[in-house]
Structure 1
Amino acid sequence: VRLSPVPGKKLEHTGVRVQLIGQIELAADRGHYYDFLSLARELAPPGDMMTIETFSFEFSNVELLYESYRGKSARCRYLLRVTVVGKGIHASNVKDFQFWVRNYDIPPPVQDANVKMEVGIEECLHIEFEYSKGWYNLCDVVNGKIYFLLVRIKLKYMEIEIRRRETTRVGSSPRNETEIIGKYEIMDGAPVRGETVPIRMYLTPYDLTPTYENVHNKFTVKYFLNLVLVDDEDRRYFKQQEIQLFRFRPEPKTS
């Protein structure tokens, strides 16, 4: 920490400290921060300062349990807060320095199985679709197939949406906020009975995070693949499947 008093003026203080803080803020309770981490180090005792001074500090072996996150209804942040405690009528000087935290997940111990589902409208439409697995790395590829077993309505196009759902909790009432992160068109035109449409969607282009389960009992972030079919009268048919997202440590590059 480098402190620079106003040239020619003496800075009187009753101490200098630095804090490591982790906070959660919810849109439904904006302006109120829930601290889940708070550590402090005293950098200087009470005294006067006339020239530029530099102070070293260290927070060692601190577990930064949650990733930094900025969503529509919740955010998780970390910051270093430096406070020069004022003396007498002089107010304290406070400066925050935010930094971003990423954590890496351990791959699940077992290989994921195929995910299969059906979409049906009685005597009009019957579709089976499957994804190769239910969990993905953030830089993974979603592979799958869609089987048209019965088609008696005219479909214009079909797409997959990636949806993010934030669930926050203030008091005892959970609130859900859903947004579409991305869309991927997988068919343009009318399919026929017996047709198979492949799915291959890269996740890298989209602004995704890992799945977060119950962060400090304040919020949860989940992701869904939403299959959307639109007919020639612009009626929309949906089928949604939750997926688990992970951030795995990148493999070292070989020369």
Structure 2
Amino acid sequence: MKALRKGAAELFGESIKMGVRFGDADSRRSVTVRVGERDAEQLLFGPEDTISGTVHVDSPSGRRIEHQGIRLELIGQIESVLDRTVTEFTSLVRELAEPGELLGRAEFPFEFADVEKPYESYDGIHMRLRYFLRLTVAKAYGAKAVHEETFRVYTTTPVDESESNNAIKMEVGIEDCLHIEFEYNKSRYHLREVVLGKIFFLLVRIRIKHMELAIIKRESSGVGANAYTESDTVAKYEIMDGAPVRGEAIPIRLFLSGFDQLTPTFRNVNNKFSVRYFLNLVLVDEEDRRYFKQQEVFFYRKGP
């Protein structure tokens, strides 16, 4: 259910129902993202959007429960799977109720205005950046019931027509066996754009079986001895099946909008990680030998 997010927690053996309702949940866009092994639906916000709504806390069967306060936190954090570290870069607190008693259902409005949300949400290979609301009902002796609700933030890049966005042209080959030229129409693409290009075969003395274009994501984290980089193939697109001949030109047309797992390029997010993308041109011959050439490109989410 989009509008109402429900949760339950144990508080001294008593089950408390807790939930968060975003104020404009019915009209706000949501996105489905892959988190671990499952798909999750999350409401989408911009960096300047106010986060507001209502939370509810239900005591079990209408019984009276004493508590030491109810609070709501808005947190932005970066999690590393590799070293299990968590870094908070945004943390705001709203005290919803002072210590007292909870009987039946209680509702509390909340609002977080002018919240710093400088980075885009990200679920990667080993790094995760997320924003969430954490609802806590405190009990004596340190016991507490907690419910978390994750929401998503997308950042956009204003279009700067004066910024260089030249075509990419390169030559690659194997001496006396293969010589090709390839070009892409741009070096920067927004995530709903089309990659256009051409491949020219100037010399072909090996039997090519097929050719494909892949998008490679390279995630890097850490520094020095703790630096770690891993690559993942986000998409593959076959652009030729069969043996080319000298003088042949093969067109490239790759629609980025078909790959929801693409993100913008991230440069040194909070000094924790970076994400870069490469177009990887691969040729496979009849003996299944692979010849490839990578070229870095910059992806961004288009702004107004």
For 2:164 and 2:76, locate their aligned partners in 1 and report how far apart those are by CA, in whole Å. 34
TM-score w.r.t. length of structure 1: 0.92
For 2:194 and 2:205, locate their aligned partners in 1 and report how far apart those are by CA, in whole Å. 32
Which ranges in structure 1 are unaligned for 5 or more consecutive residues? none
Asked if residue 181 in structure 1 is aligned to residue 259 in structure 2, the reply is: no
For 1:186 and 1:153, locate their aligned partners in 2 and report how far apart those are by CA, in whole Å. 18
Matches within 5 A, 1:102-251: 102-109=154-161, 110=163, 112-169=165-222, 172-206=225-259, 207-249=261-303
For 2:209 and 2:110, locate their aligned partners in 1 and report how far apart those are by CA, in whole Å. 62
- Equivalent residue, structure 2, for 1:24: 78
Is the alpha carbon distance of 1:61 and 1:90 closer, same or farther for their aligned partners in structure 2, counting shifts above 3 Å?
closer
Shift of 1:9: 2.5
- Equivalent residue, structure 1, for 2:61: 7
Classify the secondary structure of the residue corresponding to 1:7. helix
Classify the secondary structure of the residue corresponding to 2:61. coil
Read off the aligned partner of 1:92 and give its amino acid letter: K
For 1:160 and 1:40, locate their aligned partners in 2 and report how far apart those are by CA, in whole Å. 47
TM-score w.r.t. length of structure 2: 0.78
Which ranges in structure 2 are unaligned for 5 or more consecutive residues? 1-54
Asked if residue 79 in structure 1 is aligned to residue 132 in structure 2, the reply is: yes
For 1:171 and 1:45, locate their aligned partners in 2 and report how far apart those are by CA, in whole Å. 47
Read off the aligned partner of 2:209 and give its amino acid letter: K
For 2:215 and 2:198, locate their aligned partners in 1 and report how far apart those are by CA, in whole Å. 17
- Does the CA contact (< 8 Å) of 2:63 and 2:104 recur in 1? no
Asked if residue 94 in structure 1 is aligned to residue 146 in structure 2, the reply is: yes
Moved over 3 A (4+): none
Matches within 5 A, 1:35-50: 35-50=88-103
Shift of 1:170: 6.6
For 1:171 and 1:195, locate their aligned partners in 2 and report how far apart those are by CA, in whole Å. 46
State the identity as a percent.
Answer: 52
Shift of 1:225: 0.3
Shift of 1:56: 1.2
- Does the CA contact (< 8 Å) of 1:4 and 1:53 recur in 2? yes
- Does the CA contact (< 8 Å) of 2:75 and 2:132 recur in 1? yes
For 2:79 and 2:224, locate their aligned partners in 1 and report how far apart those are by CA, in whole Å. 14
The higher-RCO structure (CA 8 Å, 6+ apart) is: 1
Is the alpha carbon distance of 1:63 and 1:90 closer, same or farther for their aligned partners in structure 2, counting shifts above 3 Å?
closer
- Does the CA contact (< 8 Å) of 1:28 and 1:170 recur in 2? no
Classify the secondary structure of the residue corresponding to 1:58. strand
For 2:81 and 2:142, locate their aligned partners in 1 and report how far apart those are by CA, in whole Å. 34
Shift of 1:43: 0.9
- What is the root-mean-square deviation of aligned Cα atoms in Å? 1.6
- In the alignment of these two chains, the number of paired residues is 248
Q: Deviations over 1:128-170 (max 9, x none)?
A: 1000001111111010111111111111111101111111117
For 1:34 and 1:150, locate their aligned partners in 2 and report how far apart those are by CA, in whole Å. 53
